[in-house]
Amino acid sequence: MALSKEQIAQRIAKEIKNNSYVNLGIGIPTLVANYIPEGVNVVLQSENGLLGMGPFPFEGSEDPDLINAGKQTITTLPGSAIFDSALSFGMIRAQKVDLTILGAMEVSESGDIANWKIPGKMVKGMGGAMDLVASAKNIIVAMQQVNKSGESKLLAECTLPLTGVKCIKKIVTELGVYEILPEGGFQLLERAPGVSVDEIRTATAGKLIADENIPEMVF
């Protein structure tokens, strides 16, 4: 079966290294805060000005003054810090963030990402995505592999306005885990439980590199 959004976040959480600083983007990436592996020390950064985010609050215990970049209520951990967005982007541009986890509308086989604008639709703002993809040491994309019309969002070339060029290293979707190869192409590393390589190939418009013995994800 294809993964839920929560399972995508759970799988990405396994990529977080101990003693790292991680920025969580809007959408599926925010869910990663709920699945940090036990024993892994990580400081979660929100671009609106917070270091030390915890998991989402339980219903009834929300503090409306504590929100992430997606305006969702969050919790803080002991030692957390709150500051203005200028300092936050200073951290980002100075490459103090070890890992950025972003959502995406499209990713190309060469590692380009489009995630901020659909022509003709209202745009609230560019947000911090361009700063993040230009500055992060490592970037993982959390996304749905196909859109509501069943069309692939893993493409040979992006069709939407780009956020960054040749910057994506790894992608986790509802169907699989992929690595962008230096020469281009989506190398399939793991597949969702019960999903076949042929199903993944059908859902990938760009170049897919995969053999028939791809392991299933383990949760």
pLDDT in tens, 150-181: 999 999 999 999 999 999 999 999 999 999 99
Kindly state whether residue 182 falls inside one of the protein's structural domains. yes
Average of pLDDT values for 176-187?
97
Kindly state whether residue 75 falls inside one of the protein's structural domains. no
Asked if pLDDT for residue 87 goes beyond 80, the answer is: yes
Kindly state whether residue 60 falls inside one of the protein's structural domains. no
Catalytic site residue from 47, 106, 109, 174: 47
CB burial of 172-193 (b: ≥16 within 10 Å; e: otherwise) equals: bbbbbbbbbeeeebbebbbbbe
pLDDT at residue 117, rounded to an integer: 85
Domain CATH number, residue 11: 3.40.1080.10
Number of structural domains the chain divides into: 1
Going by pLDDT thresholds of 50, 70 and 90, the confidence category of residue 128 is confident
Kindly state whether residue 79 falls inside one of the protein's structural domains. no
What residue type is 97 in one-letter code?
Answer: V
Kindly state whether residue 123 falls inside one of the protein's structural domains. yes
Kindly state whether residue 82 falls inside one of the protein's structural domains. no
pLDDT at residue 121, rounded to an integer: 77
Kindly state whether residue 186 falls inside one of the protein's structural domains. yes
For residue 59, indicate whether it is catalytic: no
Alpha-carbon distance of 182 to 169, in angstroms, equals 9
Kindly state whether residue 69 falls inside one of the protein's structural domains. no
For residue 18, what are the domain limits? 5-47+95-209
> What pTM was estimated for this model as a whole?
0.93
